[in-house]
Structure 1
């Protein structure tokens, strides 16, 4: 059967060729549009060639300031000199020498009394020259032995008088109470300070410290002084 249309007049025959030609033209136009450059006409003037009229520059005004005159110096009147008459007797002051001569006696060193300096400040037990002596430690030979005996007797005193408070047992309270007190110049215990986890534990620690015996006071340069001492007491339930 013969076709009804002429094949030479079919538009789809060269459609692919037309497509590539059209795409090429579109890309060329887009490239020309992006690369197209325009320039402004050169009608600007060079600032560097600008000349300013000298008549427009104003001269600075010169101001004349008159300074005040310096103050006039004060003229001091000369002292008045009085001339004594020759008949008046003038008593002259005799200046005697205070130098020590060979006949002056030198006092003995033993006869000179030295005023004792009173020390009112508290000295920590680790810094005092002679630490307080706990009763029973008087026979120790050296200062180091006396200090060791003091620590040992203090621990014995705490173990002997320790008693766990009943309210603390019921509440299951435990902890450490830090104690600081002062051994006064007469050997008595004063100025007790406590800090602990509960009031009942602090009261028990205060009761133990109140039972401490009177001690021999500490000394600094041979003078009795106040000595501060601190220790912890630990409360622990079994």
Structure 2
């Protein structure tokens, strides 16, 4: 026979109610504990404590010493001012004027004009001239003009020299050296012709050949035409 339980005696139906009641009691106990008043513990009277007494410090009083200011000497006594009475005549200093009268003649020193001496450039050797003289027919730059000049001079000597003279002079066989020296002036003309040779006739022949040279374009130094010294050494064979 199965035992039947009474639904009212089943405590599980009241579990929610018990939980609510327990929660309310817990909150009430917590509230009472918070609202309970407490009092501070009292100690015996220790009397008044003065703190400022220990903090006071005695500061010594010092006397300020002012620096001594050097005494300045008194200002000098002004010179005695002489008072001139109205009746006393005072000498006036007359300043002569430097202006001249129109009627007076003024002497003017003559100003001599000094002509500046024109810089004279001496003759320049052919080897160091800036712009060499130009032999007729030569063209090109400075180096080409210089090489062409030397070539034209040797060609002129070989063409104009009379080789029969050397054979008639009775000179010993061999190579003979002739040096011709001349100057090409500022206008391009050949002047101051000289020659050195082993015989006077050879020297005369060399001078004749140089004088047959054509007029040239003069050499220039610093952009100005100048005289140019030229030396032409040549050799001839004597059989």
- Tell me the TM-score normalised to structure 1 length: 0.50
Say which one has the larger Rg.
2
- Tell me the TM-score normalised to structure 2 length: 0.49
